[in-house]
Structures are given as C-alpha cells and as structure tokens.
Amino acid sequence: MSGYEFIDGKGTFVLEQPENTSYLYFPIAGEEGLKGAVTPNLGGDLKTDQNHFVLQPVSAEELHNNKSTRNFWLCMEQGGSWSVTGASAQAQAEKFTAMQEESSLKAGLMWQELRRSSQKHQLEAKVTSFIPAKGQNVEVMQVEITNAGRMAATFTPVAAIPLYGRSADNIRDHRHVTSLLHRITTTDYGVEVTPTLSFDERGHQKNDTTYYVCGITGKGEAPESFYPVVEDFIGEGGSFERPEAVAKQLPGVEKGTTAEGLEALGGIRFSKTTLQPEEKVSYTVLIGLTRDRTEIEKTVEAFQTAEQTAKILEETKQYWLSSNNVSYHTGDEIFDNFMYWVNFQPMLRRIYGCSFLPHHDYGKGGRGWRDLWQDCLALLVMEPDNVREMLLNNFAGVRMDGSNATIIGNKPGEFIADRNNITRVWMDHGFWPFLTTKLYIDQTGDWQILLEKQNYFKDKQVCRGTGTDEKWKPEDGTLQRDSENRVAEGTILEHLLLQNLTAFYETGEHNHFRLRGADWNDALDMAEEQGESVAFTAAYSGNLKALAELLRYLDKNGVENITLAEEITLLLQQEPSIYNASKEKNRILQRYMASCIHEISGRKTEISCRKAADTLDTMAEWIWEHIRKTEWVGDNNGRHWFNSYYDNHGNKVEGIQDGSVRMMLTGQVFAIMSGTATEEQTAEITKAADAYLYKKEAGGYRLNTDFGELKTDLGRMFGFAYGQKENGAVFSHMTVMYGNALYQRGFVREGYKALHTLYEQSADFERSRIYPGIPEYFNAKGRGMYHYLTGAASWLMLTVVRQMFGIRGDLGSLLLAPKLLASQFDAMGRAEITLTFAGRTFHIVYENLSGKDYGEYHIDQVLLNGAAQETLIKREHILSLPEEKVHEIKVILK
C-alpha cells in the first residue's frame, strides 16, 4: 500500500485504506480537558483523566481486538445494514479481498475525516471527528451520507457508542460491580448515565459526573428512539460488530426510559430517511461528560444544525493552526510538513501528559520532572509568553539536598510529598533545569530571572533519597523552613548551583557521578550501589561551564556578588586538590546534607561572582580531563569512543567485552555536547558510531550494541529483546540529541545524517506505519512506537530552528548563523522559516543562489525589512519594530 500524502503546507494529509495498517491512532483534544484517540474505524477512547473515561480505556493491542468502538449504522429498508465506520462483521470478512470497501482518511491538527463508500448500497459516508478547542467539552462525530447511486435509497440511521463511564482502574477491578452503579436515562436527544458512586484508588465516593451521547440531525431534529443498554442492543449471542437490534431492525425505547445496574450504550435511532440520487443528509453525534447536566442541553443547542457544527469545526482548525506558529520551507516539502507535526507534538504533551494514548497505557496523565523542563524548550520558540512563570514555578520542586520532588501536582508549582520510606533518585534530574533556563535567557535576555527568589520543596526524604527526616510530618506542609520557622527562599541561581554542585560531590569508586536509581535512561535501574554515569558526569560539566559564563555576565552587568544560603558555600570553598579523591568529596557532601536534614540556619553569605565562576570552571575542566584520561575506550580496529557507565560490580561497561564490541550512544552525546570530547575525539566518535550503532533500515543510530546478556547489574533494559525500546532501538530522543551535539560542535554533515535518517524513517509510512511526526523509538522492524508524546519533538524542533536554520537567541538578541546544506535549499536556492521572536513575527529567507554547500558559503548581507543589519540583531532594535506586522529578514549567502 502507498503511504500518506500531504495536501497543503499545514500538515494536512490523506491516507487511503487506513484500516489496513495496524496500531494507527490519532489524537483529538481541546483546551477544556477532554482528550481522545480515534482509529481509522473510530476505535480508541475518550477521557478527561484517569478516573473519568467516557469510552472504555484502550491500549495498543486493544486497537485490533476491541469491538467497543464509535459506530454509526444504516439499516437499509430493502434489508441488510452498513457500518459507515467499517466496524461490522461483514466489513471484517471482506477485508483483504476484492470486496473490501474503499476508504480514505484525511486529518489535520486535532481533527480526522473518514470517508467510506459502499458499492452494494451505492452510498458514501464522511465522518468527521474533533473536539472543540474552546467552549464545549465534547467530542463531535459528524456523519454525512450521500446517495452515490441512480436510485433512491431509504435507511434508518443508528448511532452506537458504548458508554464506559468510570475509572480506568475498573477495567479489571470490579468491572461488573461498577456497572451496577449505573443509572441510565434517555432524554430528548440522547442517553445519559450517572453512576451513583465511583470505585477507584480514591476509595468509594459519591459520583457527580454524567456521561452522555446525544444525536441531532443536520436540521436540528431529535432522534426517534434509543438503545440505552448494551445487552439489549447486541442481543443474546450478538456483538457490537453484529448487533441484533441492527440485524433485525428492532425498535428502540422512548425518551424518559430508565435502566439501572447495566452496561450503558449511547444508542440513538434516527427517523427513516430517503435520499434521492446525489442528495445528502447529515447527523451530529455528541459524546461527553459533565458535572452539570444543564450543560448537556446547552451543548446540543450549540450543534443544533450542520452549519453550526461546521462553524465550530472551522474555528477549531484555525485555533490549532494559529497556535502552531513556526513553519518551514526547504527543498523537501514532505520534511516541511513533517516538521509542522513535530512542532505540534509538545502541545500534545502539554494536554496528554505522558499518558492517555494507546501506547502510553501507564501513569495517570501527569508529567515527570524531566518533562517539566524539556516541554518548555519548544514553548520558548512557539508560546514564550508564560514560560517565565512556568520556570519559576518548576523550581519550587527542588529540595535543599539538590534532589527534587517526583510527584507533580496538577496546579502550576504544585509538588506532592512522597509518602514512601525511600524515594527513587534519578541522577540526571539536576541537569535539565539549567539547560532550559539558559535557553530562556538566550531567547529573552531576561538574566534577571536568576535573581528571582523561590522556596524549596520539603518532605520526609532527605540526604538525596538515602534517609528520612523523622521530625517532618505531613501537616508541616511541603515548604522548607529555617531555624526561625520562616519559609526558606533562595534565588533561582542558588537553586541551579545547588543542583549541579551536589551532583558534583556525589561520586562513585571511579570518581564519576553515581548512577543512583537511573539517569535519562530509566531502564538503567539496577546499579544503585556501584553504578556510575560517565555520560551525565560529562553532561553536568557543560552546565558548570555555562554557569560560570553566566556568573561573569552578571558581574559585567553590575552584579558583583551573589547571596547564597550559608550552608551551600561549603560546596564552593573546597580546594581543587580534593577533586581527585572521591571519598573526600562524598564526605563533604555528607557534611552539607547533614546541615539541612530538617531545617536550615537561615543565614546568608555573599560570594563573588568572579570567584564562583572560577571555581565552576575548575570543576568542569577537571571533569573533562578525568573522563578523557580514564574513559576513552576502543576496539581492535583503531576505533575509539567514550565509556558511558559503570555497572553495579564497578566494572566499565563499554569497549571490548568477552570478545565483542560494546558501545552506547548516550555517553557520546554528552561528551560531545558538553565539550568533554575534543574535536579529534568527536571525529573518532562519529566513525565508531557509524560502524557500530548506525543502521539505516532501523531508522539511524541505535541506543547501544547488542550486549548479548541479561545484565542485571545495570538495568532492566537488557531484559528487553534487542532492538526494542531502550535495548538497542533507534531511540528518537537520544538520536536527536546526538545530531544536536554534532551541529553545536560544527560537525554539520554528521549531525544532518543523524536527523535526516530519523526523518526519513518517520516519513516512510511503508516502514514506520505511523502518521506524521516523530515517535519515541523505532522497533527492530522499523515501526514507530509510542507516537506523539515524546520529548524528542522539542529537541528536534530546537535543533532545526537553532542549528540547521541557525536562528537563535543570544542573551536576548537574534543571531543568524545558518548550517544548511546545499540539498536543503529549494530549486530557487531559498530556504525559509517563519517564527516569532521577542513578540515579533519574522519571515526569514536564506538566499543561496550559487548553490554552495555548508562551509563554502558565508553571510554576505542581512536585510531586515530592506535595511542592512549585522548577523546579530540587537534586541533593542527588534523591540522597536511594530508587533502586528510580519517582518522579513533576507540573508544573502555567497
């Protein structure tokens, strides 16, 4: 089968016979809380959160074995029936035969349109699914039927939407018992079910939510009757793919009918309709939930006619298009549209969290600590207005020991105490906040954020997760206090220093930062005692170096001294001679942590920015030299790279082990990105990665070679089949970061190879089997897995904008430094991007008329609205430009 085809420059695509591809699902959601997934046969689910699923929760495997889908039947007067969604026993039987119905899917941001035709009945159907962006918290399923034959067609339409109406926990925990709570009512327009109680992890609570399905004709007419109970609709021995009520065209019940203690169905029977040739008729089906039943009537009124529904659909389309405000034009139109979807993926993460799509059948919708920071990366380019407040709120999750809260609440800045005895500590968590804060400062010039104050998080976990504060009680709250019982506050800069300095002193036997519960790779989770992460030791060195640069910038701007909690100065006052002594560093960390187990003194100390910067520089450079001396490994053919980890027996993980080569990508990424790897070492790493990790047909660079053992002294990843997830799959996030690191270091062609191979795999539907966008990883067969909700999207977008196109903030000013290859320009020698910066919209055009490649061209001229500029456009000038206008920057390359 052929793949999808883009039909405009805004990511809209068409796919023929979509139901012939397994595991496809499409996200539809609004800003009011409702979020769903729809398949080519209108399977999937719908919910607001873990405890409120309108439709039955589904995971990936249930996409092909679950019959509980959104369905719409036509009961033909001459006999027989037709499912316009293709979810019927007959359609299943005809699949993969010449009798299979023709179908196509068209989709854009947050809307899906399914078309299907029936040769037997000479009818065509179009089903459009969406959730309004604002206003109504409801899924809309608009069905349009056209008579494509030469004879009149008479039929009775029946919508059949199974109403699950409870918590996801009840799938295997009292599924039947919780149906006994159902109180079902038919109304003028639909079926409502209001359970009396909810049974889930919160206990037995009185329910206040009504789940419903309503139906209206395109002219605003109410249904004729209803099928409110599943077992009555499907009949004894029937199923949703062959329901007795449809097969025998049984009558429904009237409005005002009630039922109790049964599985509910949004079954709606419309009046019989006759269509003349080429005539059309439409129906709107509404699926939702509410705590105020009067809202249902208002929602029905909002969709009373087909014209009203079409208007809300168009408003929804425009809302999401306007939110996706970065667009591209290169020599590859497919890439431009692909990137439009990549832009959109961080917005999906904001709505769905890390749960609530079929592959993401874990968690309860919340985001993790890492997500808080990485999701801000793309927002800094697309929706920067609220990022400052988000960053400040996020820092409230940092503990005085440098670790952080891991249970994140629903409100901004809300972090919840972990009631377990010992929490899990991810050693990379202190790395990400600075990365995001530095990008924010570069994009905005707002270095003053470093001097803003924020409190610290407090619960019973202390000493970086190795102990508990027996004095702390839940009623004490989650704010760190000092010896005078005052809420302890520190600047954002203090928070950042604390996170990076405590990590520096928590080292293992080989003097690299301890792995603890895991790092970025959550599946390296079995080396708590002796494990070390060389990869993130290098990563933190980059932070220390950049923090030193920021401190010097503060000094140049009149901030000569910074104020820190007195306890923290211990971590900045040690002689470099102790850096070589891991045990001594551990003792210093223990001294520091002992000073803040329950409270801190509240005393403050000033320290010179220059002196602190010198100390951080020394720390970073010590790490570089230490890793270069101790972790440079190789094979027997002259290839070299960095070891990334030590296992729980204290053994080096990479190099030649038992006669085979072991290599991991993560250690190479952060060695390159941080500056730990010299230019010569970076070149050698790329050769080794090409030899041992690169596999084009798998999507590019694998996360690791095949270790060939169940390595229980390092992590659960080695229990996965090789080529799956963290064990040797092409993991998009780390591959994109590898490309980003190479671009940063000037290895542009090597970086392009990493990103382009990933893009080609994603966009090749025959291999990836996913809609446009980038998945979490590609499995051993090359199929994209865990689509949409991946932090890789933010990193890919940033890399394309800031590195490929070379458009990035530099302490608030706009720097132009393109790294585009000749093949990325169009036939006219142009590459273009539209984005916002400093509240202004810019259309930036790179003109490469001579067709030169990167390294052969230079910037000859920069024109802003026709006036000459330098490659660094000062923020003051940008802010003087009118906000309502699109400003053109033309960059002439020669």
C-alpha closest to that of 564 among 603, 524, 617 = 603
pLDDT of residue 794: 95
Q: What number is the average pLDDT over the span 867-892?
A: 97
Runs of H (alpha helix) within 723-825: 732-744, 748-763, 765-768, 792-798
Q: How confident is the model at residue 382 (pLDDT cuts 50, 70, 90)?
A: confident
Report pLDDT for 172.
Answer: 79
Average pLDDT of the chain is 95
State the Cα–Cα distance between residues 409 and 433, nearest whole angstrom: 18
Taking residues 413-439, what's their average pLDDT?
86
On whether the CB atoms of residues 469 and 462 are closer than 8 A, the answer is yes
Nearest to 247 by CA among 237, 262, 259, 256: 237
Strand 467-468 vs strand 872-873: parallel, antiparallel, or unpaired?
Answer: unpaired
Vertex 523, ends 517 and 525: CA angle to 5°? 30
Instruction: Please write the tens of the pLDDT for every residue from 747-761.
Output: 999 999 999 999 999
pLDDT in tens, 594-624: 999 999 999 999 999 999 999 999 999 999 9
pLDDT of residue 362: 75
Query: By the 8 A CB rule, do 469 and 835 touch?
Result: no
CB atoms under 10 Å from CB of 468, counted, come to: 17
Extract the tokens encoding 611: 């002196």
Q: What is the predicted pLDDT for the residue at 771?
A: 98
Q: What is the mean pLDDT of residues 227-256?
A: 97
**Cβ atoms of residues 631 and 508 within 8 Å:** no
Strands 830-837, 886-893: pairing is unpaired
Mean pLDDT on 859-879 = 97
**CA 680 – CA 406 distance, rounded (Å):** 39
Helix axes 387-394, 369-382, angle to 10 degrees: 160
Q: How confident is the model at residue 1 (pLDDT cuts 50, 70, 90)?
A: very low
Task: Using the predicted structure, report yes or no on whether residue 142 has a pLDDT greater than 50.
Answer: yes
pLDDT at 174: 83
Confidence of residue 420 (pLDDT cuts 50, 70, 90): low
pLDDT digits (tens, 9 = 90+) for 56-102: 999 999 999 999 999 999 999 999 999 999 999 999 999 999 999 99
Residue 435 CA to residue 370 CA, distance in Å, equals 11
Average pLDDT over residues 304-314: 97
Residue 422 in this model has a pLDDT that exceeds 70: no
Per-residue pLDDT of 529-565, as tens digits, reads: 999 999 999 999 999 999 999 999 999 999 999 999 9
Q: What is the pLDDT of residue 522?
A: 93
658-709 confidence digits (pLDDT tens): 889 999 999 999 999 999 999 999 999 999 999 999 999 999 999 999 999 9
Mean pLDDT for 849-862 is 97
Higher pLDDT, 794 or 413: 794
Residue whose C-alpha is closest to residue 55's, from 190, 163, 178: 163
What are the Cα distances from residue 501, in Å, to 14, 314, 461, 608, 629? 52, 52, 19, 17, 22
Dist CA 746 CA 725 (whole Å): 30
Provide the sign of the torsion angle of the four alpha carbons 348, 352, 353, 359, taken in this order: negative
Contact between 199 and 174 under an 8 Å Cβ cutoff? The reply is: yes
Whole-number percent of the chain with pLDDT over 90: 92
User: In Å, what is the CA distance from 227 to each residue of 160, 265, 893?
Assistant: 8, 7, 68
Closest-CA residue to 154 (of 271, 245, 254, 305): 271
Task: Return the pLDDT at 421.
Answer: 56
- pLDDT for res 419: 58
